[in-house]
Amino acid sequence: MRAFGEFCRRFARNRAAVAGLVVLLAIVGMALTAGLFFPDDPWDMVAQPLVWPGQDSEVPLGSDLMGRDLMSGLFHGARVSLLFGFAATLAALVIGLTVGALAGYYRGWIDDVLMRVTELFQTVPPFILAIVLVAILTPSAVTIVLAIALVSWPGVARLVRAEFLALRGREFVQAGIVLGMSDARIILTQVLPNALGPIIVSASLMVATAILLEASLAFLGLGDPNLMSWGTIIGAGRDALRTAWYIAALPGAAILLTVLGFNLVGEGLNDALNPRLRNR
């Protein structure tokens, strides 16, 4: 508890990180209360098309080309975007942690093979690969998460490998080997806990990247057709950019604030978790 309290104090000293955390809490609050404030389907047409924000109290943020409530879409879109962001990041972490841990711990030919596979994925532009994967597998929540995870894990794998290479020769790891601990136990209980700091920071930034990728795919019409995400709203409003720019601007601002919040929190976590920055 004392270490956690010290971590919180270091994090709180970064005002930008605290502001980012407040923004993220507001976005999470939108996601959690979407069903409470807007129980109806966000796809329902509830007003006249192209009602501007402030014109009708029934739709405070206006309506889109089909007469759908934009505020309802933003609240439900927060839930969808965060779900994709966290799910894709979790999947990428599982792949990246596994590959990086095996490569960094065993080294030798295992390291060579796994790193060549990692480099193979890194040679293809991530967004192009995501588009191809979703188009081939047909757009759905599962395929989008899978595509984002497959283009996101190489960076995690390289980071984990570097941490494991640095920790592999430490005394506590060698002591575990001498005591006869299994490789899996050493990796999970000795090395991985000491490498979590950079991984946590990287994961916070990966969530922001995953949200951007999902929004980009939805904008291109490759999102899940049954889910209302911020990218879907922007894509639906691109035909009215000159006459009703607010349709794309509102979800665009939501994406901007969410990504900025995750980046600020990531920087704050980096400052709080990095022992070399404790005396800043």
Q: pLDDT digits over 54-71, tens only?
A: 888 889 999 998 889 999
* Domain ranges for the chain: 2-42+73-277
Q: Sign of the C-alpha dihedral, residues 18, 23, 28, 29?
A: positive
Q: How far is Cα 117 from Cα 78, in angstroms, rounded to an integer? A: 34
pLDDT in tens, 179-236: 888 888 998 888 888 888 889 889 988 999 999 999 999 998 898 888 889 999 998 8
Confidence of residue 28 (pLDDT cuts 50, 70, 90): very high
Q: What percent of the chain has pLDDT over 90?
A: 54
CA-based end-to-end distance of the chain: 22
Structure token digits, residue 184: 């899996």
Query: Higher pLDDT residue, 95 or 238?
Result: 95
Residue 280, pLDDT score? 45
Q: Is the model's pLDDT at 279 over the cut of 60?
A: no
Confidence of residue 1 (pLDDT cuts 50, 70, 90): low
Q: Is 69 helix (H, G, I), strand (E, B) or coil?
A: strand
Confidence of residue 171 (pLDDT cuts 50, 70, 90): confident
Residue 190 DSSP symbol: I
Residue 138, pLDDT score? 86
Structure token digits, residue 195: 């490498």
Which one, of 92, 87, 129, 96, lies nearest residue 216 by Cα?
Answer: 129
**Which residue blocks in the chain are alpha helix, DSSP H?**
2-12, 15-37, 70-106, 108-122, 126-137, 141-167, 171-178, 183-186, 192-194, 196-219, 230-237, 246-273
CATH: 1.10.287.130, 3.40.50.2300, 1.10.3720.10, 3.40.640.10. Which one for 2-42+73-277?
Answer: 1.10.3720.10
Q: How far is Cα 163 from Cα 85, in angstroms, rounded to an integer? A: 25
Confidence of residue 276 (pLDDT cuts 50, 70, 90): low
Q: How far is Cα 173 from Cα 176, in angstroms, rounded to an integer? A: 5
Residue 173, pLDDT score? 85
Confidence of residue 251 (pLDDT cuts 50, 70, 90): very high
Q: How far is Cα 84 from Cα 82, in angstroms, rounded to an integer? A: 5
Q: Angle at the Cα of 163 (from 158 to 164), degrees rounded to 5?
A: 95
Residue 172, pLDDT score? 86
Confidence of residue 156 (pLDDT cuts 50, 70, 90): very high
Mean pLDDT of the residues in the chain: 89
Residue 263, pLDDT score? 92
- The one-letter code for the residue type at 37 is F
Dmax (CA) of the chain: 74
HEC string for 218-230: HHCCCCCCCCCCH
- The one-letter code for the residue type at 174 is Q
Residue 131, pLDDT score? 93
Q: Is the model's pLDDT at 278 over the cut of 60?
A: no
Q: What percent of the chain has pLDDT over 70?
A: 97
Q: How far is Cα 104 from Cα 258, in angstroms, rounded to an integer? A: 33
At 45, phi and psi to the nearest 5? -90, 115
Q: How far is Cα 232 from Cα 243, in angstroms, rounded to an integer? A: 19
Structure token digits, residue 181: 């601990």
Confidence of residue 88 (pLDDT cuts 50, 70, 90): very high
Q: Is 63 helix (H, G, I), strand (E, B) or coil?
A: strand
